[in-house]
Structure 1
Amino acid sequence: MTLQWPLVRRAAWRLVAALALAGCTSQPTAPSAPDLPPLPGDVALVTHKPGWAFSRFGVAAANPLATAAGLQILQAGGSAVDAAVAVQMVLTLVEPQSSGIGGGAFLLHWDGQAVQAWDGRETAPAAADERLFLGADGKPVPFQQAVVGGRSVGVPGAVRLLEAAHRAHGRLPWSQLLQPAIGLAERGFAVSARLHQQLAEEQALRSDPQARAYFYRADGSPHPVGTLLRNPALAAVLRRIAAEGSAALHTGPVADDIVRRVRGHVGAPGRLAAADLAGYAAKQREPLCTDWLASYRVCGMPPPSSGHLAIMQILGILERLPLLPDPLRGDQPGMRAGAPSADWLHAYTEAARLAFADRAQYVADPDFVDAPPGGWGSLLDDAYLQQRAGLVGERSLGRATPGTPGGTRSAWAPMADQPEHGTSHISIVDAQGRAVAMTTTIEAVFGSRLMSDGGTGLAGGFLLNNQLTDFALAPTDAQGRPVANRVQPGKRPRSSMSPTLVFDRRTGQLLMSLGSPGGPAIIHFTAKTLLGSLPWGLNAQQAIDLPNFGSFNGPTVLEAGRFAPATVAALKARGHTVVETDLPSGLQALQRTPTGWFGGADPRREGVVMGE
């Protein structure tokens, strides 16, 4: 794929050296620094992915069975949205630890003329309040205690979102789109290595009788890799959704069973009510589209997602820093080919600190929290980014403070670091050129560890999200100032999910659909892939394969085993606290080529790309 950009940038962003992914293996996790927010709980099972080329259409998803379901729908003449429905329903079955009908999603859609942003984020129940996660002593309960049980379950939104998007952009009947998942649930699917390993490491899931009976054998061990696992309860629920639409999940016996399990949890009962489920509505929001470099227009989700704002702040600050030669240079002693240099990593992670400081201060559900003066775009204003870039010096900031977009200081308290987990990403382009980028989640691995059988009385079912722990557990700071992202009834928690569509600024042609799971690291995974695929000139697979890196406004975090000791030493010499750890992204991307599309899937997970 040949892309044009100004010659001054061509020299600055020149790709030098081949990638060094081949043959890499998972590395042990290093001890984390005290102020490093807990990173997504996942396993890194590295498998080489070749990348895939297609001429007409393609589907990129986190599991081969889900990808195949999407491909089947496209081959039948379905739209990108049709395929996304089929993929999500199969992921509920085969990747239950990450997403499903018990969770929520953000979806970007391109119809050839305009981008639409669909918000299916979970909401807090009407009976929830800002003291939801406070103990009797008025202090937040430990995070894992907050996660497990009914208290953390938000009103799911993924099915309502998909139904609304299908109503607008579907071509095939709704019921047809659920048949691949229904058939697999009835026949069974082979337990994958990733699901097996996560079940082996998981403890709290065994405390839920429905989940224990489905995921584990009588002796408490997880089903071995390759075991044919049937899910008759999910098949029955999906049959109802196929016939009745989202109402089958949000009302009636399925909703009654969800409410019973949430409110009846022993130790951590939740506040979800039947009226919360019945009243949930997906929302269409105005997408955020931002010009980048001279050639690209990048579109993403607005708040309650923090993803697009943080990504484009990082990239915008980098653009305003002195140009650095060869981000992937391998010409210095001790440098490793295919990994960014210490100088470039210093610039990137300083920009990230500044962006994450603003994220913690400002971003929350826009129906509850006003944007800074001038709107959310004020965080990406040229003068503001130039001012923030001026804070990047020769030594690390360590921890950045929020800025004043629009010239006014916020009265909100910054949100303290909390874990943020889970998710799965889907990218699809159909034969008519319509495209979807959808990131979908139940939050933590296996969500709230509650499984609903939908009132069927059958084995299996679907997991319920723990999305309310994406709110600040502590609603105020020590001075009593409220946190923007605190729990409030009907509110949607802040997210890092970053489904992204990229266009040519001059022609308006769609260039990419991409995104990733990974909690707050989604922001870095997506930014890395944008950089690699566009200004650095890599194909989508090579960009995904690049080592992961970032900062969450604390230590500089590097993917273990992927950076040379000299790089780490050079960062430390500039004042960085460096943590090397597993960073198991799950990137999926489709990239336009002169002959069609090229797809990439993350070697750190089990996703693939299929198409014609």
Structure 2
Amino acid sequence: MLSRRIGRRAIAAIASLCATAALAQQATDAVAPEPATEAGLVSAASAQVAAALQAKAEGRPVTGQDWMISAANPLAVEAGAAVLAQGGTAADALVTVQTVLGLVEPQSSGLGGGAFLVWYDAASGELTTLDGRETAPQAATPLLFQTEGAPMGFFEAVVGGRSVGVPGTPALLEMAHDRWGRLGWSGLFDPAIALAEDGFDVSPRLSALVVMDLLRLKTYPTTAAYFLPGGFPLLPGRTLQNPDYAEVLRTLAAEGAAPFYTGRIAEDIVATVQGAVNNPGLLTMEDMALYRVKERRPVCGAYRVYQVCGMGPPSSGAIAVGQILGLLQPFDMAALGPDSAEAWRLIGDASRLAFADRGRYVADTDFVPVPVKGLLDPAYLAERARLLDGDTALDVAAPGDPAWDHAGLFGDGISPEQPSTSHISIVDSYGNVASMTTTIENQFGSRLMVRGFLLNNELTDFSFRSVEDGRPVANRVEPGKRPRSSMAPTIVLQDGKPVLAVGSPGGSRIIGYVAQAIVAWADWGMDVQQAVSMGHGVNRFGTFDVEGGTAMEALQAPLEAMGFTVEPRMLNSGLHAIEIGEGLEGGADPRREGIALGR
């Protein structure tokens, strides 16, 4: 169903940007983080959007020469494309795209969450990352998610204030714009403000997810009033307005991110978290004021002729993706091909080995030592790859013993990570590349709503167990600490130049989705649309999940014959990718609503 109305002023705001341009020229990882629905079609406000939707339906990439954007909702993509067409940078477009996404797919990301950005700066040729991950309150302890020494149930911990960390997304957007933006900050909020005030049509996907989460959304009156007006879930096509969100955006547009962390917005966030009935949280005004985005060095691993670079700790994304690819390096994946059970045996067990290391070693490096170099050392990976030399599934995938440049001995944690997440890939006309994954964790986050946006439940990405066999768990809760993530925004380089930007939502399966897309593109010769559309196979902890209704189901029997436990299921990725070559090609995951647009 195509949306009939996105708001007159929103269209006007986008059209104004285009006109100016013409003048200038994811209580376990096994649970789906955001259940699969029909992707739905939400906008055909322009011929370009309609063409992009058609290209995705036909399995073709969108092409361009000047710029390209791929993200999870046509309204957000169209607004971001207008910024790029005006001469804005990828950093400018990120502000517009994220603020629109927070309105039209609030279950996935928004101002109340956090994000990781991988940025390639064309002028300097440098790659960097910005860590906008949420932080734990100063009053948090390793026992935050335990009751009488036992881990709490996942949703017992999630719903309410206990799970809310200090949001990082507004501060990250401001830092990115300050460093790399060209257009005025305030105008970048206009499309989202117009949509919030005039209203937008509820997409089939948002409506379906509201229905699936109806009982939890009923928990708090403000949230229920928005998503369940009159006691009934939002229906597809309903025009939904959010004046409270528009007012927040006006404040940010006029004053920057400061009011979010030290002003009126911060006060309301803290009051809502502390006042959550039955499950109050610990967040204070001091916690909000202390928040800082951190610039970190990217983590890179070699694969074939490429350098695969992404976000390091507190994310496990770049390490685990790099490990999977490094373990596959000795094998001729191109010759095996995507229909080979042997190829998937290698991918599946490489992933299991990477997840074993991830579970033991990876956490926030500001609090615990992490052997990043050792985990990605080619010699270590070559040694671990020998475990894949057989022809059957590994009996056990245990953590390895990577080299340390400092001491560390940790136990294995229990981290039921289920991010409800979104990914944005952008290449601008100046050659800058942005790959940003953004989240509020579980779908609809903590189910607490403040001033028109949802608050995250990101603290439940910490381990619910603080000690294992007398050893502290690296990813335990600590004051001010950032929980481990699987988000894997990635930029692939060849000879120092970017050739691919990719990332996905999907909880801890993000790692598998991204690694598979890179193998499909690098080894199997797929274009970006083919790579993000192909059926998934993901193995993290022993069970091999194969995507139902795709060619992967045909591999169930041969994989079982190799000794795997195989479970066909819906695998709800949201990959958004851009290939950078002679021109630009964009692909958007058909499992969700997004599109790619380029010029």
Normalising by structure 1, what TM-score? 0.88
- Conserved? CA contact 1:59–1:428, under 8 Å: yes
SS where residue 414 of structure 1 aligns? coil
Matched, 1:500 2:490: yes
Stretches (4+) displaced over 4 A: 407-410
Q: For the aligned residues, what is the CA RMSD?
A: 1.7
Alignment of 1:590-601 (within 5 A): 590-594=578-582, 596-601=583-588
Residue number in structure 2 paired with 1:267: 278
Q: Which amino acid aligns with 2:454?
A: L
Displacement, 1:221?
Answer: 2.0
Paired residue for 1:383? 379
CA contact (8 A) 2:301 2:309 kept: yes
For residue 66 of structure 1, what is the aligned residue in structure 2?
76
Is 1:398–1:576's contact at 8 Å kept on the other side of the alignment? no
Identify which of 400, 403, 413 aligns with 1:403.
Answer: 400
Match of 2:543 in 1: 555
The answer to whether 1:518 aligns with 2:521 is no
- Rate the CA distance shift 1:278–1:36 in 2: closer, same or farther, 3 A: closer
* Partner Cα separation in structure 1 for residue 566 and residue 200 of structure 2: 41
TM-fit CA distance, 1:299 = 1.2
Alignment match, 1:462: 453
Aligned to 1:484: 474
Question: Residues 143-542 of structure 1: matches in 2 within 5 Å?
Answer: 143-202=154-213, 203-218=215-230, 220-293=231-304, 295-321=305-331, 325-328=335-338, 340-372=339-371, 376-392=372-388, 393-406=390-403, 410-416=408-414, 418-453=416-451, 461-477=452-468, 479-505=469-495, 508-542=496-530
**CA distance 1:131–1:325, change in 2 (3 Å):** same
In the alignment, structure 2 segments of 5+ residues that lack a partner are: 1-26, 41-56
Are the counterparts in 2 of residues 556 and 578 from structure 1 also a CA contact under 8 Å?
yes
Partner of 1:605: 592
User: In the aligned structure 1, how far is the partner of 2:461 from the partner of 2:552?
Assistant: 35
Q: CA deviation at 1:531?
A: 1.2
Partner of 1:333: none
Aligned partner of 1:602: which letter? D
Distance 1:564 1:503, change over 3 A: closer
Identify the residue that residue 45 of structure 1 maps to in structure 2.
Answer: 38
CA distance in structure 2 between the aligned counterparts of 1:46 and 1:190, rounded to whole angstroms: 15
Q: Distance in 1 between matches of 2:314 and 2:249?
A: 29
Correspondence for 1:582:
570
- Counterpart contact for 2:131–2:293, Cα < 8 Å: yes
Q: Are the counterparts in 2 of residues 398 and 553 from structure 1 also a CA contact under 8 Å?
A: no
Greater share of helix: 2
1:12 matched residue in structure 2: none
Out of 532, 536, 539, the residue aligned to residue 544 of structure 1 is 532
**Aligned partners of 2:479, 2:407: CA distance in 1, in Å?**
26
Shift of 1:325: 2.9
Retained in 1: the 8 A contact 2:300–2:322? no
Q: Is the 8 A contact 1:121 1:492 kept in 2?
A: yes
User: SS of the counterpart of 1:45?
Assistant: coil
Q: What CA distance in whole angstroms lies between the structure 2 residues aligned with 1:409 and 1:399?
A: 26
What letter is aligned with 1:449? R
Q: Which runs of 5+ in 1 are unaligned?
A: 1-33, 329-339, 454-460
Matched-pair contact (CA < 8 Å) for 1:43–1:197: no
SS of alignment partner, residue 300 of structure 2? strand
Change (3 A) 1:287 1:35: closer
**Partner SS for 1:325:** helix
> C-alpha separation between the residues in 2 aligned to 1:487 and 1:186?
39
TM-superposed CA distance for 1:566, in Å, is 5.1
Q: What is the alpha-carbon distance in structure 2 between the residues aligned to residue 175 and residue 564 of structure 1?
A: 47
Structure 1 pair 560–104 and aligned structure 2 pair: CA distance change class (3 A): same
Deviation at 1:522, TM superposition (A): 0.6
Give 1:38 deviation, angstroms.
Answer: 2.4
Offset from partner CA, 1:50-73 (integer Å, 9 cap, x none) = 321111001111000100111111
Alpha-carbon distance in structure 2 between the residues aligned to 1:389 and 1:56: 41
| Amino acid across the alignment from 1:519 | G
8 A Cα contact 1:37 1:552, kept in partner: no
1:356-403 alpha-carbon deviations (Å, 9 max, x no partner): 00000100000001122xxx1211111101111111222212441100
Secondary structure in 2 aligned to 1:73? helix
Judge which range, 417-426 or 466-475, deviates more: 417-426
Contact 2:74 2:594 in 1 (8 A): yes
Q: What is the CA–CA distance in structure 2 between the aligned matches of 1:604 and 1:105, rounded to whole Å?
A: 22
Alignment match of 1:114 (pick from 126, 130, 137): 126
Contact kept, 8 Å, 1:99 with 1:441, in 2: the verdict is yes
Distance (Å, rounded) in 2 between the aligned partners of 1:95 and 1:547: 24
Once the two structures are TM-superposed, the CA of residue 431 in structure 1 deviates from its matched residue by: 0.6
User: Distance in 1 between the 2:516 and 2:144 partners?
Assistant: 36
- What is the CA-CA distance between 1:421 and the residue it aligns to? 2.3
How far apart in 2 are the matches of 1:347 and 1:571? 11
| 2-structure distance, mates of 1:579, 1:359 | 23
2:105 aligns with one of 95, 105, 113: 95
Residues 248, 99 of structure 1: alpha-carbon distance in 2 compared, 3 angstrom cutoff? same
Distance (Å, rounded) in 2 between the aligned partners of 1:473 and 1:289: 30
Q: What CA distance in whole angstroms lies between the structure 2 residues aligned with 1:403 and 1:545?
A: 33
Query: Within 1, Cα distance between the matches of 2:245 and 2:313?
Result: 32
On the 8 A contact 2:415/2:460 being kept in 1, the answer is: no
Instruction: Render the CA deviation track for 1:551-600: whole Å, top value 9, x for unaligned.
Output: 11221111112246652111111110111111010000111242x20100
Residue equivalent to 1:8:
none
Deviations 1:2-27 (A, max 9, x none): xxxxxxxxxxxxxxxxxxxxxxxxxx
Q: Which amino acid aligns with 1:378?
A: G
Letter in 1 for 2:219: S
Give percent identity, aligned residues only. Answer: 48
Task: Work out the CA distance in 2 between the residues paired with 1:287 and 1:144.
Answer: 33
Superposed displacement of residue 261, structure 1: 0.7
Measured in 1, the distance between the counterparts of 2:172 and 2:544 equals 36
Distance 2:197 2:386 in 1: 59
Q: Cα–Cα, structure 1 residues 36 and 428, in superposed 2: closer, same or farther, change >3 Å?
A: closer
Contact 1:309 1:379 in 2 (8 A): yes
**Structure 1 pair 349–410 and aligned structure 2 pair: CA distance change class (3 A):** farther
SS of 2:597 mapped into structure 1: strand
The answer (yes or no) to whether the contact 1:399–1:553 under 8 Å persists in 2 is no
